[in-house]
Amino acid sequence: MTSNREKTGRELPKYRNRIILIDSSLLMLPVAGKRRQLNIEEALYSASEGGLLAILDSTLEELKILREKAKGKKKLAADFALELIKRMKLPVLYVDEIDPNIRREVEELKKKLKKWEVHDEILARAAEKINAIVATTDMELVRRLRKKGVPVLYLRAGKWFVIE
């Protein structure tokens, strides 16, 4: 197991007994991004430091839609992400069990949001509700989470950055 110290030389906070929700952008990174040599499983486990890595059912839905409707690299990336979820045996948390109002509230906002923002908004609201950390590579989502005061783990240039 790797230590709590990353390449930055900075200590990462320990997340024991805390849920870390993984965004689809991070799961698809090894195929969709330019970081093909990145071992995403190892990166996630080293950054989690004992926290529970999990995904939302809405993230799973988003990946299934991308696998069916997207083309080329994005379709391959979604397929890779779904296989990764199975291989890592990531638990799936159901948004309706966290708060049955989240989907309804986001549905009301749907006209103001872009297609991909719907899943991000659900993720942000669920993370806020259960005091979870979100792991992502999506800078727009990072900004949205920071506004809500949700802690973020994001990966840039092979290094983890933490925003509490």
Structural domains of the chain in order of their starting residue, each with its CATH number: 19-163 (3.40.50.1010)
The set of residues, in sequence order, having a beta carbon less than 8 Å from that of 111 and lying 6+ positions away, is none
The rounded Cα 70 to chain-centroid distance in angstroms is 19
CA distance 38 to 130: 29
User: What are 93's strand-pairing partners?
Assistant: 56
pLDDT at 50 over 70: yes
pLDDT for res 123: 94
The rounded Cα 117 to chain-centroid distance in angstroms is 13
Mean pLDDT confidence for 39-68: 87
Give the pLDDT band of residue 111 (cuts 50, 70, 90): confident
Report the chain's mean pLDDT, rounded to a whole number: 82
Share of the chain above pLDDT 70, in %: 80
pLDDT at 163 over 80: no
Listed residue (35, 40, 34, 66) closest to 53, CA to CA: 40
Of residues 140 and 32, the one with the higher pLDDT is: 140
State the helix-helix crossing angle for 57-69 and 72-88, rounded to 10 degrees.
140
CA distance 21 to 36: 22
pLDDT for res 2: 37
